[in-house]
């Protein structure tokens, strides 16, 4: 199990992460979401042992990760721009990875055939998508306990994305691998991840099981005979509210049955509760938090 306990990180004089508290369960596909600059890549670099915490603790099974070879050998990080030696081939990088990880040769050649890559062609001649496939191949063949992926789907075509997700599912089932993914493609994360954390302004804003979080937020549209008043909804946990004369659109947290009963008591002409997607949840939470900061100022 991975635990962030009151973790802080500075890059130069800039505070990138502040008081991060997070537990990442084993055997899961965990999604990191957040705006550009929220600290997702920094968090992954801390987790992989590239960076050291400036405050707090980052633990794997109770042991600090930084400068701990036994912990770091259980973690493999594929960044959005993976490191490679100049003029190196995929075969060269496999030998480099073998200094740290137990590469499964059978898996390596199975995925090499699936991805249709030339292991003796210099990687700098690969397209962005091919290079991404090459390092994903190495990560899967290494079969670490934790595979960290920054912008995992970037450069992959739809067919390769499908293959990749199926392979990950197989690895989790066969080797009990956990996958931690940062991506701007929130639809892919929603379809792929079972748990998540949302980073905002360098700290964890919300986290938990994906299905539970989405089922706890409701997109509501209503129409009334008269002008809508904001105070009608003061009993609800409102994320955002948009009123246009006799029509109102709400994003609300809480139990669906209780919310519906309360709204029906207002006698609307129209009442619709719509399913919420991860991208909607993310946008509404960001809007809500920025409005809250604005009010505080």
> 29 and 183 in contact (C-beta within 8 Å)?
no
Total domains in the fold of the chain: 2
Residue 292 has pLDDT above 90, yes or no: no
Q: What pLDDT is attached to residue 143?
A: 86
Strands 75-78 and 146-150: parallel
DSSP E strand boundaries for the chain: 2-11, 14-24, 29-33, 55-60, 63-64, 75-78, 146-150, 178-182, 195-200, 203-209, 217-223, 237-244, 247-253, 270-274
Average pLDDT, the chain: 89
Tell me: do 8 and 147 sit in the same domain: yes
| Number of residues that make up the chain | 297
- CATH code of the domain containing 125: 3.40.50.300
- The parent domain of residue 50 ranges over 2-208
Tell me: do 192 and 100 sit in the same domain: yes
Tell me: do 156 and 10 sit in the same domain: yes
**pLDDT band for position 288 (50/70/90)?**
confident
Region class of 204: left (phi > 0), else alpha (psi between -120 and 50), else beta: beta
> 77 and 47 in contact (C-beta within 8 Å)?
yes
Strands 217-223 and 270-274: antiparallel
Report, as an integer, the average pLDDT of 2-8: 96
Tell me: do 204 and 224 sit in the same domain: no
Tell me: do 45 and 192 sit in the same domain: yes
Tell me: do 280 and 139 sit in the same domain: no
Percentage of residues in the chain with pLDDT exceeding 70?
97
pLDDT in tens, 63-83: 999 999 999 999 999 988 877
Q: Identify which of 141, 80, 89 has the alpha carbon closest to the alpha carbon of residue 110.
A: 141
Domain ends where: 160, 181, 208? 208
Tell me: do 39 and 106 sit in the same domain: yes
Cα of first residue to Cα of last residue in the chain, in angstroms, is 39
Tell me: do 95 and 201 sit in the same domain: yes
pLDDT in tens, 146-170: 999 998 777 778 888 888 888 888 8
Least confident range from 39-43, 229-233, 280-284: namely 280-284
> 278 and 189 in contact (C-beta within 8 Å)?
yes
Strands 63-64 and 14-24: unpaired
Report, as an integer, the average pLDDT of 246-275: 95
Residue 259 has pLDDT above 70, yes or no: yes
Tell me: do 172 and 247 sit in the same domain: no
Q: What pLDDT is attached to residue 187?
A: 83
Tell me: do 204 and 223 sit in the same domain: no
Domain ends where: 208, 225, 246? 208
Cα distances from 165 to residues 152, 156, 159, 213, in angstroms, run 10, 11, 10, 22
Domain ends where: 208, 229, 246? 208
Residue 293 has pLDDT above 60, yes or no: no
DSSP E strand boundaries for 112-235: 146-150, 178-182, 195-200, 203-209, 217-223
Rounded Cα distance, 195 and 212, in Å: 9
Tell me: do 80 and 199 sit in the same domain: yes
pLDDT in tens, 161-203: 888 888 888 878 777 789 999 987 788 888 889 999 999 889 9
Give the containing element (helix H, strand E) for 82. Answer: none
pLDDT in tens, 78-125: 988 877 888 899 999 999 999 889 999 999 999 999 889 999 999 999
Q: What pLDDT is attached to residue 170?
A: 83
**pLDDT band for position 297 (50/70/90)?**
very low
Tell me: do 25 and 159 sit in the same domain: yes
């Amino acid at each position: 199990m991975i635990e962030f306990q009151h973790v802080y990180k500075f890059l130069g004089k800039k505070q990138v992460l502040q008081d991060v508290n997070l537990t990442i369960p084993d055997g899961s596909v965990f999604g990191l979401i957040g705006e550009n600059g929220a600290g997702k890549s920094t968090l992954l670099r801390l987790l992989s042992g590239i960076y050291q915490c400036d405050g707090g603790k980052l633990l794997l099974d109770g042991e600090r990760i930084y400068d701990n070879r036994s912990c770091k050998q259980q973690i493999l990080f594929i960044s959005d721009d993976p490191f490679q030696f100049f003029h190196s081939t995929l075969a060269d990088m496999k030998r480099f990875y073998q200094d740290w990880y137990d590469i499964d040769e059978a898996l390596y050649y199975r995925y090499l055939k699936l991805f249709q890559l030339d292991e003796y062609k210099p990687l700098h001649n690969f397209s962005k998508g091919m290079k991404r496939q090459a390092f994903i191949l190495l990560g899967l063949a290494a079969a670490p306990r934790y595979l960290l992926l920054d912008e995992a789907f970037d450069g992959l075509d739809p067919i390769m994305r499908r293959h990749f997700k199926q392979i990950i599912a197989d690895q989790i089932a066969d080797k009990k691998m956990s996958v931690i993914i940062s991506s701007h493609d929130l639809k892919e994360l929603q379809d792929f991840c079972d748990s998540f954390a949302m980073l905002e302004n360098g700290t964890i804003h919300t986290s938990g099981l994906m299905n539970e979080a989405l089922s706890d937020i409701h997109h509501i549209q209503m129409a009334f005979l008269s002008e809508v008043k904001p105070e009608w909804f003061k009993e609800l946990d409102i994320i955002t509210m948009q009123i246009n004369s006799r029509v109102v659109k709400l994003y609300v947290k809480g139990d669906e049955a209780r919310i519906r009963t309360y709204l029906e008591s207002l006698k609307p002409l129209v009442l619709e509760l719509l399913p919420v997607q991860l991208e909607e949840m993310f946008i509404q939470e960001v809007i809500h938090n920025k409005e809250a900061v604005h009010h505080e100022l």
